[in-house]
Structure 1
Amino acid sequence: MTRTTPEGRAPLLTSYAAHFDTPAGYLDFARFGPPSRDAVAATARAMEESARAGHTTVDDLMRAEGAARATAARLAGADAAHTVLLPNASTGLFHAALGIQDGVVLAPRTDFPANHYPWRRAADLGRVTPRWLDPEPGGGVTPDLVRAALTDDVVAVSVSAVDFRTGFRVDLAALREAIGPDRLLIVDAIQAFGVATMAWDAADVVVAGGQKWLRAGWATGFATLSDHALESLQPVLTGWTGVEDAGVFDGTEHLPAPDARQWSITNLSPVTAAAFAAALDLVERHTVEAIEAAIAARVTELTEVVKTCGGRVLSPTDSAHRAGILSFTMPNHDPSLVAKALHAEGVTPTVRTDSLRLSPHASTPPEASQRVAAALSSLGS
């Protein structure tokens, strides 16, 4: 249920918020999302069951992976055959990078390094050539930027769905149109999945870790692969769990699985899979649309607070390109000193050397904005 306070403040998704114990001033979900009680309980149950191991325990615990995979697939608009669980987003990006055998890959120079090193390592092996895109200061990856960099040897474009610095939201459908159907579109969705309605089906590869906005804890994540990705990416990192007849130990090499399982290297922890399943279920039950609306309202509120207190907003303010991240500076105030003022009011931001980042969630109450206002007002001119 979404409600609006009598004072007309931004709505709070109360039924969703009831699952969490996160402090009101926690505004660092773009770095780490504290898990729900559901995810914590699922972790505890799985550990307790493993401690009382019997002849069915392992098989029972392993079922959590299938549940998590199915829910992730539904949220991504895919199916389980095109979805694989991974321990983090970086593993998926390395799978994609090493799977391309030749050609140029476009990637933003401003992206989080997780979208740099796979391409650098693949280049060291002579498989791909990264070409770095340079968005305008304060901007992000746009179709025009990508279109201007396209040449015949470009085989893929790899981008973040939402920029980690500013929260710039990429138009995936427009990017697909710009690059055409034959090039691969690879998307790091860690700053968007579960909290932003986006055209995931426009991408050939979508990877996300569960420790941020999905609030599943560390060592959780997934990837979805299109038919085009399965056909064109070489499964270089396929392990024993990613092959046909994986349970047959006959001493011979088995072919990679024909579906997304080919990105599996080994069995993942059924404990973390249980937490991931619980976290994804919470998102599905409350809907991405409702979660996104609650976050957008809180970001709007925080943006007004920052502006009123004399801050300079670095994030997009138009709804088409804005996500859950609000980056800003306070002119004439070092970010570290601004952070101290925020900490004194019980607010947890991300602190950079040149800016600060606030990232609320659907469970963030109006009190958080009041705390930020008190902190920034205390700085003086």
Structure 2
Amino acid sequence: MELHIRKEPAGVIFITSDGEVLPYSFTLTQNCSNNAAEYQALILGLEMAVDIKQLHLKVFGDSKLVINQLLGLYEVKKPELFPYFSYAQRLIGWLGDVEIEHVPRKDNKQADALAKLASTLTTLEDNARVPICKSWVVPPIFDDDDCEEEEELHAIEVFDIEREDWRQPLIDYLKYEKVPDDPRRKVDIRRRATRFIHHNDTLYRRSFDGVFLRCLSDDEAIQAMEEAHSGVCGAHQSGPKLHFRIKRMGYYWPTMVKDCINYAQRCQACQFHANFIHQPPEPLHPTVASWPFDAWGLDVVGPLTKSSAGHLYILAATDYFSKWAEAVPLKEVKKENVADFIRINIIYRYGIPATSSLIMGSLSAIA
């Protein structure tokens, strides 16, 4: 029996040794690449061959990548194709006598390939039935035996990397007076054990107000934070409030403050519904000087009533820190007069400003 594979859509066509044509069309509902769709069409045809117990089979496909990977000419490099490749090889092994051949699309000699199949389909009678199916191709990666072995290995790995319960050294010391071999941990356990008691197979810690708090493991601590923060009576409180609430409920573990803060920060609902923070991402830069005579402000007052000496304007300078003022009368405002005022009344008396700039008012219009 011959098996021809097409991808548009997943077309599977069986041709028996007597020349009988059995066409099937499948709708693949997975979102996958073209190469994965080629593998899915091949797997569907092989599974149907297994169901009808057809042991001798010739497979023709127009995907050069899929055919050459099954023939061992190409290497499977993409991880998403490896499960399909393994499952297809397993189906071929179950069938036994399977021949795989690649049929190029541009090859003119396609007598036994897709061109012949297309012409065969066009000559089918009007009352011919072409079954259309919907199928999910999810190839298993391991056998049952492999799964059992994998589970055993997985359990061993978890046992190796399992974290030590922080309560166990304290329980060993309080119950059996057993201390760790490490000298530093030995001193630490003996120092901390004075605030713990072991009663009815439960470790308790005496708080500063004399209340005994039940010590929780890592898994129990996560459950306590989840119930207190987002449980039935949870109010999605912040980290410090969450720590205070759990402690009032009578529970304790060493890193509860840091864990509560991290748990509240990672809460997705709190991130969605939290208040917007309008504070700038960096500290604001003050414009007012933080030291005497760092910045001066200059301005011109006038024109005023002409004095007896002929002055019409007043040029004033104010220190932004101490509010100290310097002023001189001027007959007319020129850039030479302003420059002399800055040099004599500010620089010679108080030094060069730290900002190396003067804030001017109406003086900016002076040419």
**TM bucket normalised to smaller:** under 0.3
Higher strand share: 2
Q: Report the TM-score when normalising by structure 1.
A: 0.14
Give the number of the structure with larger relative contact order, counting CA–CA contacts within 8 Å between residues 6 or more apart: 1
Q: TM-score normalised to the size of structure 2? A: 0.15
